[in-house]
Structure 1
Amino acid sequence: MTDNTPSKIPDKRPASPAENGPRKRHKADPPDFSQADEVVTFLIGPFTEGATPKTFLVHKEIVCYHSPVLNAAFNSGFVEGQTQTYKLEDVNQGTFKLFVQWLYFQKLALAVFEEDYDSEEHITDQDMEVVTYQQLVELWVLSDRLGIPILQNFVLQTIRRISDKINRVPTIILAYVYENSSEDSKLRQFFVNEVGSHANESFFGPKYKSRYPHQMLLDLAIWYTQPIDEAKEYTVEDFFVLVETQDSSKWA
């Protein structure tokens, strides 16, 4: 059974390159699978008593094409290069499955986008929405760590599509967002706007008030004091990570 418990990364981490400014575009030859026999191993999950990490095998050229971090690791003299194995102890298995899916197809197959999906009919569907949101947020954090801004931006587009379809944001994920991002994070800014745009009185009732990080409440207070035309007329591209090109900084 896949463990969908949110993974933890220490709070108050340094700002990532994605949050400090435009990222340089990773230059690598597109995979043509001419070396299809070369695969690398990912060990996903904690190494603790009673818990065994899940093993994933992925084509090396596709991993190195998308991620400058993994490209450097697997082609180095360090342990990852020597063993062709990369450990991610704090990453959820379901999240990593989405990561691999995107590596190969640049899209995600999510139940929430199926034609017969209706979360109003089944409470289990609403539970699935929480898991989906959680895994997408974790995927944004993982792609930030691995230097894949195109995936970060794709994740935000996907979350926005879900928010538009179901017209709500699971507040239970907000603590994870703030624990795993810095003060100027695009991810934080995005969710402040999402909650501000979709929230009603029930969002801040006794049942949910403990789910809001203190800093997010302050950020929301600032958001609500902005003029309506500035606070609510935004697009998801406003929260994209910039990628540096030779001419200028452009969206990934």
Structure 2
Amino acid sequence: MALVVTKSPLFKRLGDETVKLVVTSLCEHPRIFTVHKQLLCQKIPYFDKMFNGPFAEGTTQSATLHEDDPLAVESMLGWVYLDKIEIVDDGGSLYLNRYIHLFSLAEKYHITTLAD
């Protein structure tokens, strides 16, 4: 009897390929996020065009985000994977700033559902 391996719905949604998002601003060392390409491109058309189009990022499967806040990118990716926004309340202004930076990121990459 042959063993048949099928992908679960989760792994079908994630896909097999990953891409790297390198965030260089507001941090001493770049933050590198490895993300499932299929999921990222389904949720954010901007990245679909970037990684599946005729751009250098499509060849390298890596993009450098020079002007983005790494914590906002982290929150955006949390939304990509979990369909919700998770920001830990530190009890101060940093908490509000993360929402503002996340909203700015959503506007920049035309992610209307995240901005809403």
Under a length normalisation based on structure 1, what TM-score does the superposition of the two structures give?
Answer: 0.39
Partner SS for 2:64 = strand
- Structure 1 counterpart of 2:11, one-letter code: F
State the 1:144 CA deviation.
1.4
Instruction: Judge conservation of contact 2:75–2:87 (CA < 8 Å) in 1.
Output: no
* 2: CA distance, partners of 1:148 / 1:51: 28
* 2: CA distance, partners of 1:51 / 1:87: 15
Kindly provide the CA deviation profile for residues 157-202 of structure 1, in whole angstroms up to 9, marking residues without a partner as x: xxxxxxxxxxxxxxxxxxxxxxxxxxxxxxxxxxxxxxxxxxxxxx
Partner of 1:37: 16
- Structure 2 counterpart of 1:150, one-letter code: T
The correspondence for 1:58, drawn from 35, 53, 57, is 35
* 1: CA distance, partners of 2:86 / 2:28: 28
Instruction: Judge conservation of contact 1:75–1:81 (CA < 8 Å) in 2.
Output: yes
* 1: CA distance, partners of 2:74 / 2:109: 15
* 2: CA distance, partners of 1:143 / 1:108: 12
Relative to structure 1, is the Cα distance of residues 146 and 32 closer, same or farther in structure 2, using a 3 angstrom cutoff?
A: farther
Q: Which has the larger radius of gyration?
A: 1
Instruction: Judge conservation of contact 1:33–1:61 (CA < 8 Å) in 2.
Output: no
Q: How many residues align?
A: 107
State the 1:81 CA deviation.
0.4
Identity of aligned residues (%): 25
* 2: CA distance, partners of 1:72 / 1:100: 17
Name stretches of at least 5 consecutive residues in structure 1 with no aligned partner: 1-30, 113-123, 154-252
Name stretches of at least 5 consecutive residues in structure 2 with no aligned partner: 1-8
Partner SS for 1:43 = strand
Partner of 2:4: none
1:139-218 aligned at under 5 Å gives the runs 139-153=102-116
The 4+ residue runs of structure 1 with deviation greater than 4 A are none
Which structure shows the bigger proportion of residues in strand conformation?
Answer: 2
Partner of 1:175: none
Kindly provide the CA deviation profile for residues 110-156 of structure 1, in whole angstroms up to 9, marking residues without a partner as x: 344xxxxxxxxxxx72x2xx112111111111111212100000xxx
Under a length normalisation based on structure 2, what TM-score does the superposition of the two structures give?
Answer: 0.80
State the 1:51 CA deviation.
3.3
Instruction: Judge conservation of contact 2:50–2:57 (CA < 8 Å) in 1.
Output: yes
Partner SS for 1:33 = helix
State the 1:32 CA deviation.
5.2
Relative to structure 1, is the Cα distance of residues 140 and 148 closer, same or farther in structure 2, using a 3 angstrom cutoff?
A: same
The correspondence for 1:88, drawn from 58, 65, 76, is 65
In the alignment, structure 1 residue 104 sits paired with structure 2 residue 81 = yes
Instruction: Judge conservation of contact 2:87–2:98 (CA < 8 Å) in 1.
Output: no
Instruction: Judge conservation of contact 1:65–1:71 (CA < 8 Å) in 2.
Output: yes
